[in-house]
Amino acid sequence: MLTRARAGVCKPNPRYAHTVSTAAISPIPKSARAALQDPNWFAAMQAEFDALRANETWALVPRPAGVNVVSGKWVFRHKLNPDGSLDRYKARWVVRGFSQFPGIDFGDTFSPVVKPATIRTVLSIIASKNWPAHQLDVSNAFLHGHLQEQVFAQQPVGFVDPARPHHVCSLSKSLYGLKQAPRAWFFRFTGHIKTLGFTATQSDSSLFVLRRGAETAFLLLYVHDMVLTASADALLRAIIAQLQQEFKIKDMGPLPSFLAWMSNVLPLGSFSAKVNMLKMCLNALAWQIASCCQPLLIRSLSYLPRMEIFSQILHIIAALQGLYNT
């Protein structure tokens, strides 16, 4: 049988002319040593290391006697596009916070996050007043936090300084994995945003309000995700520009989603908005019915506030009827 190879035919087979071929994706390495041997992952590790050095995260010092040196590891992942294709290779140097000792290299760790009720309130304002709203994401948010404690960490594996191999990193800024990293970032961000004129509300320390004459802006903070809305588009964009001067913030554009809440802001009279509102009401109704029936099975009837629950169910049914009639 005379095959294409034997006949010396090198042109591609027409059968596969419309087949899209993509370069092989490097699998997630199981160790730092394997990653260093892969060009794709090594480039990602180099980019992370360069970012840490540019941020002046640490200073190399001789290892003091008797101190706790926090170890670390490389964490790898594929960053994918919405269509499932590969966006980039991501490598992150993460310290092992479980090896820290309370009172020595960390103190308080509590960091507040925005309350669900606050999110619902702000989203209702956005919908009723038709304000512009953008979702913002802070790149490497925890690396911006300033440490109050003295923390020593090992040098990143694969990037040990050849001239000072036995030195350790004296951290001046936070790293992912540190127990106090979320708290350090929160106070770093709140300290800066107050210089822009924002004030934290008493009801929720993660909701910040800015008032400039007749204009108003609200900012919700959940770790490194933010929702910013303002009464004027010019004010919103001015605030984003000011934040980007201090932090590496990516503007995700008009609010597509935030913490799994309904966020596709539509006019209240539109059909899609009514469908979404009906879904929310039905979910609330299902929850109320479940909370009503479950105690009947597992609790004593004396602990069941049935009249209050049934009153809430009637309010939800009335809301459904109002939407249906409109």
Residues 6+ apart with CB under 8 A from 187: 145
* C-alpha to C-alpha distance for 125 and 265, rounded to whole angstroms: 11
Dihedral angle computed from the Cα positions of residues 121, 142, 91 and 226, in that order, rounded to the nearest 10 degrees: 20
Choose the weakest-confidence range: 30-39, 139-148, 245-254, 276-285: 276-285
| Contacts by 102-108, CB closer than 8 A, 24 or more apart | 104/68, 104/149, 105/68, 105/70, 105/149, 105/150, 105/151, 105/152, 106/149, 106/151, 106/178, 106/179, 106/180, 107/148, 107/149, 107/180, 108/180, 108/183
Residues in the chain: 326
Q: According to the model, what pLDDT value does residue 77 have? A: 92
Q: According to the model, what pLDDT value does residue 79 have? A: 86
In tens, the pLDDT along 50-109 reads: 988 988 899 999 999 989 999 999 999 998 876 778 888 999 999 998 888 888 878 877
The better pLDDT of the pair 244, 7 is held by: 244
| Chain CA centroid to CA 163, Å | 37
pLDDT at 303 over 80: no
Q: According to the model, what pLDDT value does residue 154 have? A: 94
Q: According to the model, what pLDDT value does residue 125 have? A: 86
Percent over 70 (pLDDT), the chain? 71
pLDDT at 187 over 70: yes
Q: According to the model, what pLDDT value does residue 20 have? A: 47
Q: According to the model, what pLDDT value does residue 219 have? A: 93
Q: According to the model, what pLDDT value does residue 314 have? A: 57
Q: According to the model, what pLDDT value does residue 225 have? A: 84
Structural domain boundaries in the chain: 32-254, 271-325
> Which span out of 55-64, 96-105, 267-276, 290-299 was modeled with the highest average pLDDT?
55-64
* C-alpha to C-alpha distance for 273 and 127, rounded to whole angstroms: 10
Amino acid at 113: V
Look over the chain and give the mean of its residue pLDDT values, rounded to a whole number: 78
The better pLDDT of the pair 29, 288 is held by: 29
Q: According to the model, what pLDDT value does residue 266 have? A: 39
In tens, the pLDDT along 245-254 reads: 988 888 888 8
At 315, is the pLDDT very low, low, confident or very high (cuts 50, 70, 90)?
low
Report strand pairing: 133-138 vs 72-80: unpaired
Q: According to the model, what pLDDT value does residue 216 have? A: 93
In tens, the pLDDT along 189-199 reads: 989 999 999 99
Q: Which two tokens stand for residue 160?
A: 């040990």
Average pLDDT over residues 29-57: 92
Phi, psi of 270 (to 5 degrees): -80, 160
pLDDT at 271 over 80: no
CB 152 within 8 A of CB 171: yes
Q: Which two tokens stand for residue 186?
A: 């929160």
pLDDT at 164 over 90: yes
CB 63 within 8 A of CB 168: yes
The better pLDDT of the pair 155, 285 is held by: 155
pTM comes to 0.63
Q: According to the model, what pLDDT value does residue 302 have? A: 41
Which residue in this structure is represented by tokens 């419309």?
Answer: 18
pLDDT at 239 over 90: yes
In tens, the pLDDT along 104-155 reads: 878 877 777 788 888 888 888 888 888 888 988 888 788 888 888 889 999 9
Q: Which two tokens stand for residue 62?
A: 């001789």
Average pLDDT over residues 182-192: 89
| DSSP collapsed to 3 states, the chain | CCCCCCCCCCCCCHHHCCCCCCCCCCCCCCCHHHHHCCHHHHHHHHHHHHHHHHCCCEEEECCCCCCCEECEEEEEEEEECCCCCEEEEEEEEEECHHHCCECCCECCCCCCCCCHHHHHHHHHHHHHHCCCEEEEEECCHHHHCEEEEEEEECCCCCCCCCCCCCCEEEEEECCCCCCCHHHHHHHHHHHHHHHCCCEECCCCCCEEEEEECCEEEEEEEECCEEEEEECCHHHHHHHHHHHHHHCCEEEEEECCCECCECCCCCCCCCHHHHHHHHHHHHHHHHHHHHHHHHHHHHCCHHHCCHHHHHHHHHHHHHHHHHHHHC
Choose the weakest-confidence range: 86-100, 196-210, 272-286: 272-286
